[in-house]
Amino acid sequence: MKRVLFALLVLVIASAFGVQQQKPQPGNLKAAMTRGKTVYEATCLACHQPDGLGVQNMNPPLVKTKWVLGDKKALIKIVLKGLQGGEIEIDGDKFHNPMPPQESTLSDQEIADVLTYIRNSFGNKASLVSMGEVKAVRAKLK
C-alpha cells in the first residue's frame, strides 16, 4: 500500500511538473518574448552581444549552454546574484568579466521575461520562465 501511495505521489508530482512545462501559451510566449527582448537589449546585450555569442574570454555565449537550457532555479539565481568571473567554463575557456547581479535593478517580471527570451532565442528552445518562479527563488535567496 505504502508503495502504491508513493508511486501515486511520484505520478502526481511528475504530471504537475509536466503540465507546468508543457502548458502551451503561444500568446504568453509572444508577449514575454517582446518584453524580454527589451530587457535583453538594455541589460544583457552589451556583454552577451546581439547574437548571444558573447565575447572570447570575456563574456560567455548564451547559445545552448547547460545554464541557459538547464535548471531554471540555477539560471534565475545567476541573474539575481551574478557571478564573480572565472566561474563558468565552456570547452576549457573561462571568462574574465563578472556577471553583474541584477537583483536590485530588474523586477521579477523583467527577469522572467528576459530568461524566457534567451531560452527561446539564438537557436535555443526551452520552456518559459514565470514571474512566480523568479519570485520564489528571490525569496529563498533572501
Q: Which residues bind ligand HEC (CB under 6 A)?
A: 43-44, 46-48, 59-62, 65, 67-68, 75, 78-79, 83-88, 95, 97-100, 102, 114, 118
Query: What is the C-alpha to C-alpha distance for residues 114 and 36, in angstroms, rounded to an integer?
Result: 4
Q: Which residue type is seen at 95?
A: F
Q: Which is nearer to ligand HEC, 24 or 92 (CB)?
A: 92
Q: Distance of CA 83 to CAs 59, 72, 78, 97, Å? A: 11, 16, 7, 9
Distance in Å, CB of 27 to other proteins, minimum = 28
Helices 108-119 and 26-39 meet at what angle, rounded to 10? Answer: 100
Among 24, 91, 125, 142, binds other proteins (CB under 8 A): 91
Residue of 129, 114, 102, 109 lying closest to 39 (CA atoms) = 114
> Which of these ranges, 1-9, 27-35, 39-47, 123-131, lies near other proteins under the rule CB under 8 A?
39-47
Q: Is 83 helix (H, G, I), strand (E, B) or coil?
A: strand
Q: Which is nearer to other proteins, 23 or 94 (CB)?
A: 94
> Grid coordinates standing for 137?
527563488
Site residues (CB under 8 A) for other proteins, limited to 109-138: none
Q: Which residues bind to other proteins, rule: CB under 8 A? A: 14, 41-43, 45-47, 49-51, 53, 55-59, 66, 70-71, 82, 84-86, 91-98, 100-102, 104-105
